[in-house]
Each structure stands twice: as C-alpha cells, then as structure tokens.
Amino acid sequence: MKKNFLIIFCLISISAIAKLEFAAYPAGGFSNETGIEAGLLSYLRFLPTPPDSTSQFNSVYFLSKFSTKKQFVLQVTPDIFFKKNIYNISTPLKFQQWPTSYYGIGNSTDINNSERYTPLIYSAKISLSRKIVEKISASIHYDWQSFEIIKHKTGSKLEVYNSPSISSGVGFKLIRNSSNAHYYPTSGSIQKFIFTKYNSAIGSDNDFSKCSFDLRKYISLNKLCVLSFQAYAGFSQGDIPLNRMYELDDFMRGIPTNLHPDANIAVVCSEFKIFPWRGDYSKRIGFATFLEIGNVFDEFSNYEISENKINYGLGFRYSLFSGDRLNFRFDIGFGENGSEITIKAREAF
C-alpha cells in the first residue's frame, strides 16, 4: 500500500513541475546495404512548467530498426540537464547485430571488392558535463564497447579480427557553444575538442587514443533559411581496432556504409535548409541541400587533397515537435558509387 502511494505521489509531483511531450514515427528506407528498412523512432521530452526558453529539454531518444537483410539495431539515449543547465548527463546505450560488408581499410577501397560479415556490438557511454562560464563547458566521459564478429566466410580477411574484443576508455571534451538553439541552430557557432584514451588498465583489449576537432558555423539568411558549415578532423594513435576507426560514411551521406574506414579523417560539409511555410502543420515541413568533401588516411603525411571524395544531395525535414525544430530527416546523398539514403532524427550537424 505504501509503495503504491509513493508511485502515485511521484507521478503527481512530476506532472506538477513538468509537461511531458511524446512523439513517435515510423522509420524506413532502402539502400543496397540494408535492403528495405523499417522501425520506430520516438522522443520523450520533459518540458519545464512554466516554459523557459533558456532551459534545455530533458529527453529520452529511442530507435529500433530492422531490415530485410536481417539487420537489427536498438538504441536508447537519455539526455538530462539539472542545476539550471549547469550540469548534463548523457548515457547512450546501443545494441546492434547488423550484417554488413568489409571492403578493406583506407581511402581507395573498392565497392566491388567486398565480403559479408555479421558483427555483434554492445556499447555504452557515460558523459558528465559542467558549464564553466557562459558558452563554455567541459565534460568527462567513459566509453565502452564490446565487438564480436559472429559470422564471416571461411578464409576471410577478417579472421585477424576473429576474437571478441572490448574497448574501454576515458576522456574529456571541451565545448564552446554560441549557437542560438539546441536542436536547430540558425546563428552562432560551435567548437568541440574531444580526447579519449583506451587502455588495458581499465579493461581495454587494445591500447590506443583518439582526438577530434569539430567546428560548426550557422548563418541565418532570413526567417525561412539557414546556411550551416562543418569542418571535422579526427586522429588516432596506437593499436586501433576495426570497430574504432573513423568511417567516412558517418559524415558524408553519399558514401556506402563501411566503405572507407581508417585511423584519421578530415571532412568539410555545407548545408542549406529551408522551412518555407507558416501554416499550423505545414510549418513542420522543410527541405535541404548539401555538399560534402572528405578523406580518410593512415598517416598525416599520406593525406592528399587530390584524393578527397565529393558528395552532394537533397533532403526532407519534418519537425517532430511544433515548438522547435527537433527534426526527422530523410537525406539522399550522391557520390562516386551512386546514391545512399539516410534516415535519422536530428540534423547532421
């Protein structure tokens, strides 16, 4: 009886201090890598009462997706702010059994030279950040991932990665954020530096380190249009496992999945977005065009501008919540190997 009373009291208390918003949408698509995809994309948000435009929204993001090629992914990401947005805790959790293709390592891998394999991945990350001064915050994080190849052909080049492996690392992040919105900035800029060290002393099977620089700029052309830019560079040192290499398709929407992995990456992206209407429902609908240039390389001395890949594409946007631009996006990217489809929540950058 006391337990039931406590549950009811907690629910009434939450309702009194916060407004809940929930949105769920089907997610689907098609690509040569996945075949037909289907799934569910949903957001649960805790809004302050009364609304405060300076506050960040506490949220839980959920994604489940499967494909006709027996691929499955489940992802849950709580993102919680407290102490008047001074502190933030984010804990992404992910399970993935996703048959895919291996093409080799580097910027010159050939899409016609591939083999299928099935990795089983469990991952978790815990990040605690604190605002230091206005616009600048710092965070510490712990990053853990279990990676195992559960199926590949006999005599595969992947047999070198046949043993299950765990990567376990700790690191820090510095962010300067002068943008004007959390989900859909239309002005300002963001600068991020991230460093993570993976070491056997904390349970990692491979000793290596990774650091990255992420620079973003947003320019409002008018009330309907925004132009955004991103420059990203990532570097690795040590015994880097296959599942921890940078992948060009993570940033370039016209690159097939896993086609170009390597220890280092450099990418420059630009995007133009427009929400042309102002009706009650039509204001949720927007469109995008983008241009992306990038490269992966094993050593900095081997980076060649002439080897950069160039992608371009078009996109559709739908705002999951009417009060802001938390967007569901459907992008089609075109590159040297044809077209690729991307379906995700939130903007690419």
Of 162, 238, 147, which is closest to residue 200 (Cα–Cα)? 238
DSSP reduced 3-state for 250? helix
- Distance of alpha carbon 349 from alpha carbon 344, whole angstroms: 12
What digits encode the pLDDT tens for the residues 20-76?
778 887 877 777 677 788 888 888 887 655 555 556 778 898 989 898 888 999 999
Q: What is the pLDDT of residue 19?
A: 66
Full DSSP string of 253-299: TTSPTTSSEESEEEEEEEEEEE----STTGGGEEEEEEEEEEEEESS
Q: Is the pLDDT of residue 262 over 70?
A: yes
Would you say residue 324 lies in a domain? yes
d(CA 110, CA 103): 6
pLDDT of the residue at 3: 46
Strand-pairing partners, residue 24, are 42
Residue with tokens 């009364």: 50
Domain assignment present for residue 106? The answer is: yes
Neighbours of 150 (CB within 10 A): 11
Task: Give the domain CATH number at 263.
Answer: 2.40.160.50
Q: Determine the structural domain holding residue 234 and report its residue range.
A: 20-345
Mean pLDDT of 137-165: 90
| Least confident segment among 9-13, 156-160, 167-171, 173-177 | 9-13
The pLDDT of residue 132 is: 95
Report d(CA 178, CA 189) in Å as an integer: 5
**Amino acid (one-letter) located at 120:** L
Q: How far apart are CA 188 and CA 238, in angstroms?
A: 36
Query: Is residue 11 domain-resident?
Result: no
Average pLDDT, the chain: 89
Residue with tokens 């996006």: 329
How many structural domains does the chain have? 1
Q: Is residue 126 part of a domain?
A: yes
Judged against a pLDDT cut of 50, whether residue 6 lies above it is answered with no
pLDDT in tens, 328-343: 899 999 998 889 988 8
More confident residue, 5 or 67: 67
Using 50, 70 and 90 to split pLDDT, how confident is the model at 275? Answer: very high
Helix count and strand count (H, E) for the chain: 1, 20
Rounded mean pLDDT of 209-219?
Answer: 98
Distance, CA of 262 to CA of 239 (rounded, Å): 12
Q: What are phi and psi of 268, to 5 degrees?
A: -125, 130
- The pLDDT tens digits of the residues spanning 285-313 come to 999 999 999 999 999 889 999 999 999 99
pLDDT at residue 163 in the model: 84
- Tell me the C-alpha distance between 58 and 48, whole Å: 9
- At residue 337, φ and ψ (nearest 5 deg) are -110, 20
The two tokens of residue 115 are 């083999």
pTM, rounded to two decimals: 0.88
Query: pLDDT higher for 212 or 281?
Result: 212
Residue 303 tokens read as: 């980076």
Q: What is the pLDDT of residue 78?
A: 92
- Residue 7: inside a domain, yes or no? no
Angle at 167 between CA 165 and CA 169, to 5 degrees: 165
Residue 17, pLDDT > 70, answer no
Does any domain span residue 231? yes
Backbone phi and psi for residue 186, each to the nearest 5 degrees, phi listed first:
-120, -5
Asked whether residue 8 is assigned to any structural domain, the reply reads no
Compute the distance between CA of residue 293 and CA of residue 122 in angstroms, rounded to an integer.
31
73 assigned to some structural domain: yes
